[in-house]
């Protein structure tokens, strides 16, 4: 008899194949940081619905089936493919990012078909976030070459720690993500997108903080964040 996890794994493969073979609607577009009057994390109806929902991690585990193909069953992601590690991330952060992708404030046409309204409901977004937030953070993330950690630490303490925390723990109440032990490849890519205006749901304060960073600066601070201590469980 198949175990429940084995059944979920089989279901995930079927769902991913179905979604991949379908022709889903294109990701919508919503104004972002490039638009006059943009307000980071402005209240929106779907986000408020998801945040107010009494999340069910067990249901989230089942709904997460469509995500496993890229982000892995344990939420560890893939550093070589630049899929972020989601395990242990703040539920509020996960909700915001999924809702932003659904609305088109964050451009991710590859992810959109898997989190679109016709795949998961607003409540299931919250359930998935609750499930992922309680997973232990895997210790096997991709790290950099370790050659500029002193520079990375200095930059992090000067420009990043005030929001993301001294140990990269983030702040769920403020929607600031946990960056500790994230894949260095993902941290590097997203930091460059934020610096260059390519991540349209970015916080303008972060854009300002890293606007003058060189690629080498971003590589250094990303490597430093990837090595911050892993916690077995989120707060």
More confident residue, 17 or 37: 37
List, in order of start, the domains of the chain with CATH numbers: 7-17+37-133 (1.10.760.10), 149-226 (1.10.760.10)
pLDDT digits (tens, 9 = 90+) for 87-135: 999 999 999 999 999 999 999 999 999 999 999 999 999 999 999 999 9
Does the predicted model carry a pTM greater than 0.85? Answer: yes
Per-residue pLDDT at 230: 84
- Which of the 8 DSSP states describes residue 43? -
Per-residue pLDDT at 24: 76
Q: Which is it for the CA torsion 82, 4, 135, 171, positive or negative?
A: positive
- As separate numbers, helices (DSSP H) first and strands (DSSP E) second, the chain gives 12, 0
Question: In angstroms, rounded to a whole number, what is the distance separating the alpha carbons of residues 96 and 210?
Answer: 22
């Amino acid at each position: 008899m198949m175990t429940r996890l084995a059944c979920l794994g089989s279901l995930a493969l079927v769902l991913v194949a179905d979604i991949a073979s379908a022709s889903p609607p294109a990701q919508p577009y919503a104004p972002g940081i490039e638009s006059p009057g943009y307000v980071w994390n402005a209240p929106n109806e779907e986000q408020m619905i998801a945040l107010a929902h009494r999340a069910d991690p067990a249901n989230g585990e089942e709904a997460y089936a469509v995500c496993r193909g890229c982000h892995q069953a344990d939420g560890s992601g893939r550093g070589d493919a630049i899929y972020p590690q989601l395990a242990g991330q703040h539920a509020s952060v996960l909700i915001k990012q999924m809702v932003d992708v659904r609305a088109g404030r964050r451009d991710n046409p590859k992810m959109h078909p898997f989190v679109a309204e016709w795949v998961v409901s607003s409540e299931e977004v919250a359930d998935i976030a609750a499930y992922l937030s309680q997973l232990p953070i895997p210790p096997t993330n991709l790290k950099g070459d370790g050659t500029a950690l002193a520079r990375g630490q200095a930059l992090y303490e000067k420009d990043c720690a005030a929001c993301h925390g001294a140990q990269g723990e983030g702040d769920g109440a403020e929607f600031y993500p946990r960056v500790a032990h994230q894949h260095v490849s993902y941290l590097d890519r997203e930091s460059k997108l934020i610096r260059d205006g390519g991540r349209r749901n970015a916080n303008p304060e972060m854009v300002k903080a890293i606007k003058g960073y060189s690629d080498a600066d971003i590589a250094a601070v990303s490597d430093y964040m990837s090595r911050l201590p892993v916690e077995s469980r989120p707060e």
